[in-house]
Amino acid sequence: MKTKIQYLFAIVLLTFTLSFSFAQKSYVIKYEMVYDAPGLDAAMKAQLPSEMTMYIKGNKMMQESKSSMGTQSAIYDGDTKSSIVLIDMMGQQLAIKVGKEEIEKQLTEMPKVTVDLFDETKKIAGYTCKKAEITEGDNTFTVFYTSDLGVSDINWATEFKDIKGVMMEYSTSQQEMTVKFTAKEVKEQKIKDKQFTIPSGYKELTPEEAKKMFGGE
């Protein structure tokens, strides 16, 4: 059971790699999630999220993924430069609060990457996306992003900060697991402010407490 929890916590880290946005409009973007994890059996893979939904409103952003074991979400607040990870899983409702100083510390610990931008484009979810290549050490992977949503600063708190737009197709890796995200639907719609608040009944944890609970170092 602890192994399952560790995998799910890894998915939380993989899923919520994007930061908040300064967009003026409100959007809901749905992503398909495809896994490459040699050590993951079919039964465990079936319990992992197959879709991520991103909500963008003003300077706030929320990412949410659901699986058979529960729901994981992350809220990013551009006013306070803080974030909250919400986990509703296996009878537990947890809120992991990450403040500005902790986020800045995480930024300094992120691996150095090289971003190469290209003029090559392709359509994803109806939007024209430009190609970029991200190189980290000996590894290189491809990203497609769009600036058509009026969002340019969404990646500021990640190693992808040089990509000025919403990443519509990209991959992330954690604990020998790679997840590929591909946007399949984008809608401009109204989003209620409560989407970006902590629901009642959640237990608040620090990042350190969460790592201990989920078997991290």
* Per-residue tokens: 109: 């610990």
Convert the pLDDT of each residue in 166-178 to its tens digit.
899 999 887 788 9
Task: Give CATH for domain 26-214.
Answer: 2.50.20
Task: Flag whether pLDDT at 100 surpasses 50.
Answer: yes
3-state class of 112 per DSSP? coil
- Distance between CA atoms of residues 83 and 162, nearest Å: 21
- Distance between CA atoms of residues 161 and 124, nearest Å: 21
pTM (two decimals): 0.82
Domain spans of the chain, in order of start: 26-214
What value does the mean pLDDT take over residues 106-112? Answer: 83
What value does the mean pLDDT take over residues 183-211? Answer: 93
pLDDT of residue 15: 53
Identify which has the larger pLDDT, 181 or 42.
Answer: 181
Convert the pLDDT of each residue in 4-63 to its tens digit.
555 555 555 555 555 444 445 899 999 999 999 888 888 888 889 999 999 988 778 899
